[in-house]
Amino acid sequence: MINWLMKKLTKNYESIPLFWEDFNLQKYQKYGAKNSCMLHIHPELKNDEHIIDTLSNLVDYIRENYDMEKLSK
């Protein structure tokens, strides 16, 4: 599925997304911050632990320091 999505997102574009984050506001409101964000990484980068750790820290920082309800509207 990720390969299909990458092809869909990059068709006729000159740039490609290396990562993106999905935020689930309903899950955040019901269960809290844990597992409310899903980080998607380009398949070529998915095995690099440094990138995964850095992006995970970035996602945690965004979730802790910004109003997620305001960002999701």
- How many domains, the chain? 1
Q: How far apart are CA 6 and CA 35, in angstroms?
A: 23
CA 54 vs. chain centroid, Å, equals 12
The DSSP secondary-structure symbol of 11 reads T
SS3 for 13?
A: coil
Q: What is the pTM of this model?
A: 0.64
Domain extent, residue 54, equals 2-71
Task: Please name which of 29, 39, 31 lies closest in space to residue 59, comparing C-alpha atoms.
Answer: 39
Angle at 41 between CA 39 and CA 43, to 5 degrees: 145
Task: Please name which of 37, 33, 48, 45 lies closest in space to residue 2, comparing C-alpha atoms.
Answer: 45
Mean pLDDT of 41-52: 89
Tell me, what's the pLDDT at 70?
79
pLDDT exceeds 90 at position 49: yes
Mean pLDDT of 34-62: 87
